[in-house]
Amino acid sequence: MKIMTCPVNGPRAISEFAYGGEIRSMPDPATCSDDEWADYVFNRNGSPGVKREWWCHLPSNTWFVAERDTARDVVLRTYLYEGEG
């Protein structure tokens, strides 16, 4: 992967982007247990696969979602975040 397509600015060199990690939902810190919170803070899905990730186009500060196959390093789709589900 050398080119990433920003949903607003189109295809750009990968060096213009920052990776923000896999999209995960945060448990409610007021009600979840310490174990759930520690799991959220530290644990990751480290195995290869197609993942939904946060990426940011730095010059325009556009955060968006990329679906990427982390085994092949191929981006399948990029789009602006529209909430969960």
Partner 1 sequence: MPWRLLRFALSKKHPEPRMFTRHDRLKPAYDVVIIGGGGHGLAAAYYLAREHGITNVCVLEKGYIGGGNTGRNTTIIRSNYLTPEGVQFYDESVRLWQDLAQDFDLNLFYSNRGHYTLAHTDAALRTSRWRAEVNKHFGIDSEVVGPEVVKKAAPMIDLSCGGHAPILGALYHAPGAVARHDAVAWGYGRGADMRGVEIHQRTEVLGIGVVGGKVAGVRTNRGNIATNKVLCAVAGATPRILDMVGIRSPIYIHPLQAMVSEPVKPWLDPILVSGSLHVYISQSARGELVMGASLDPYEVQSTRSTFDFPESLSAHMLDMFPFLSNVKVMRQWAGMADMTPDFAPIMGRTPVEGFYLDGGWGTWGFKATPVCGKTMAYTVANDREHTLITGFGLDRFRNFALTGEKGAASVGH
Residue numbers of the site for partner 1 (CB under 8 A)? 2, 14-15, 18-19, 34-35, 38-39, 41-48, 51, 70-73
3-state secondary structure of 38: helix
Residues 6+ apart with CB under 8 A from 25: 84
CB-wise, 62 or 70, nearer to partner 1? 70
With residue 17 as reference, give the H or E element that holds it. strand 17-22
CB-wise, 35 or 85, nearer to partner 1? 35
CB-wise, 15 or 83, nearer to partner 1? 15
